């Protein structure tokens, strides 16, 4: 493989720690719960997108680009970290956010502003077109824009989670633990594609279970083909002979709730349990939904008491401040 030869820009200190959650394990009567703390990456209040951005910005710099352009929701963790990474790399940043500009910005949006990103607001249906328009207008004034897809989830960004799985393999060997499953939030696909491919490469035998935040297995736009396409493009990019099929991906779509970025009791209960038992914060949109689903699966007996499960915390805690009123009412 040619992982070491790909362009990469250093953004954070790895490996991120793995912690045993003794109090939560006791509260739920097993399985043994460990947590991989990608919320502790040092850039811009942390999160998993940093791993992807190292490779995306590496390519942008190799191509002599001077401006990062990406898109997301108004509380996008990916956009917040892209804005932070742009500053570290000496690049400008334009963000296309679906939503209405608030009178008082908070959460991730406030951090976008602090990092000096230029923000373009639009309706969700217009976001993809607006992203291209912003890039075209920058090119017209002789800027050199580098487009990053939503979530950084393409064959470039997802390499970051192949390297993350290599990192994990070394850590669990040193800790002498053998997780029966890895559980994490999945949405745009890059994290799950990279982790699942990385599991194949490292010989990890456990389940690599993505708990869907907003995607489904069926319908007009099913998710497994997206995961397969990203993973195989990554494999080709890094020079691996492995090819994935849809059946290689483990996906749970039972916890979609009221929809994307609409947290409910499941999410707020998970935020409460982690904060009360372990002093760890979850983001209300991604990690709280995934943790809520994971804890519900424990209650239902999906995981047995004698198993070991690693929950991969992908970050998102700055979003909590955008949900202050709901947190006060429900926690």
Model confidence over 222-273: pLDDT tens digits?
A: 999 999 999 999 999 999 999 999 999 999 999 999 999 999 999 999 999 9
Q: What are phi and psi of 310, to 5 degrees?
A: -110, 120
Do residues 325 and 266 lie in contact, with contact meaning Cβ atoms separated by under 8 Å? no
- Residue 219 scores a pLDDT above 80: no
Confidence of residue 30 (pLDDT cuts 50, 70, 90): confident
Give, for 37, the enclosing helix (H) or strand (E): strand 32-37
Residues 196 and 232 in one domain: yes
Residues 34 and 53 in one domain: no
Q: What is the pLDDT of residues 50-68, one digit of tens each?
A: 999 999 999 999 999 999 9
Name the domain count of the chain: 2
Regarding whether 215 and 231 lie in a shared domain, the answer is: yes
The whole-number pLDDT of residue 88 equals 98
Q: Which 3-state string (H, E, C) describes 4-31?
A: HHCCCCCCCCCCCCEEECHHHHHHCCCC
Same domain, 191 and 244: yes
Q: Annotated active-site positions, please?
A: 76
> Which domain-ending residue is among 98, 121, 152?
152
Q: Is the per-residue pLDDT at 220 higher than 90?
A: no
- Which of 152, 172, 206 is where one domain is finished? 152
Residue 112 has pLDDT above 90, yes or no: yes
Which has the closest alpha carbon to 290: 196, 181, 148, 197? 181
Chain-wide mean pLDDT for the chain?
A: 97
Residues 297 and 303 sit within 8 Å (Cβ to Cβ): yes
- The verdict on 82 and 103 lying in the same domain is yes
CA quadruple 329, 186, 133, 125: dihedral positive or negative?
negative
Is 115 in the same domain as 41?
no
Q: Residue 85's pLDDT is what?
A: 98
Flag whether pLDDT at 294 surpasses 80. Answer: yes
Confidence of residue 1 (pLDDT cuts 50, 70, 90): confident
- Tens of pLDDT, residues 75-98: 999 999 999 999 999 999 999 999
pLDDT of residue 221: 83
Q: Are residues 116 and 190 in the same domain?
A: no
- Check whether residue 65 and residue 165 sit in a common domain: no
Q: Are residues 139 and 169 in the same domain?
A: no
Residues 247 and 301 in one domain: yes
Q: What is the pLDDT of residue 223?
A: 96
At 137-172, the pLDDT tens digits run 999 999 999 999 999 999 999 999 999 999 999 999
Mean pLDDT for 198-219 is: 95
Residue 245: which CATH number?
3.40.50.1100
Question: Exposed (0-12), middle (13-18) or buried (19+): which is 174, by Cβ within 10 Å?
Answer: exposed
pLDDT attached to residue 36? 98
**Mean pLDDT confidence for 282-298:** 98
DSSP 3-state of 211? strand
Q: What 3-state class would DSSP assign to 153?
A: coil
Same domain assignment for residues 129 and 199: no
- Between CA 300 and CA 18 the distance in angstroms is 25
For residue 31, whether the previous peptide bond is cis, meaning omega lies within 30 degrees of 0, is yes
Helix, strand or coil, per DSSP, at residue 73: strand
The residue range of the domain holding 34 is 3-47+154-330
Answer for the pair 268, 276: CB distance below 8 angstroms, yes or no.
no
Last residue of a domain, which of 91, 118, 152?
152
Q: Are residues 158 and 255 in the same domain?
A: yes
């Amino acid at each position: 493989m040619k992982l070491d030869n790909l362009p990469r820009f250093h953004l954070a200190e790895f490996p991120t720690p793995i912690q045993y959650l003794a109090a939560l394990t006791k509260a739920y009567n097993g399985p043994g719960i460990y947590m991989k703390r990608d919320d502790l990456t040092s850039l811009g209040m942390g999160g998993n997108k940093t791993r992807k951005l190292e490779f995306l910005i590496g390519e942008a710099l190799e191509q002599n680009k001077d401006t990062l352009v990406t898109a997301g929701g108004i509380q996008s963790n990916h956009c917040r970290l892209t804005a932070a990474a742009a500053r570290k790399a000496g690049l400008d940043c334009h963000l296309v956010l679906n939503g209405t500009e608030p009178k008082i910005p908070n959460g991730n949006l406030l951090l976008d502003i602090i990092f000096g990103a230029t923000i373009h607001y639009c309706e969700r249906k217009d976001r993809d077109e607006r992203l291209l328009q912003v890039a075209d207008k920058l090119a017209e004034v002789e800027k050199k824009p580098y487009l990053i897809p939503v979530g950084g989830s393409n064959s470039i960004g997802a390499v970051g989670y192949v390297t993350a799985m290599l990192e994990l393999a070394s850590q669990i060997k040193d800790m002498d633990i053998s997780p029966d499953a890895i559980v994490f939030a999945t949405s745009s696909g890059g994290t799950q594609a990279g982790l699942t491919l990385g599991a194949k490469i490292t010989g990890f035998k456990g389940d690599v279970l993505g708990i869907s935040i907003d995607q489904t297995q069926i319908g007009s736009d099913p998710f497994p083909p997206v995961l397969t396409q990203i993973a195989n493009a990554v494999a080709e990019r890094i020079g691996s002979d492995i090819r994935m099929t849809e059946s290689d991906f483990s996906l749970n779509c039972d916890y979609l709730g009221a929809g994307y970025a609409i947290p409910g009791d499941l999410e707020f209960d998970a935020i409460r349990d982690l904060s009360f038992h372990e002093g760890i914060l979850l983001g209300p949109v991604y990690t709280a939904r995934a943790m809520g689903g994971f804890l519900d699966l424990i209650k239902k007996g999906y995981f047995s008491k004698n198993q070991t499960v690693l929950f991969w915390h992908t970050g998102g805690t700055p979003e909590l401040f955008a949900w202050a009123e709901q947190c006060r009412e429900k926690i």
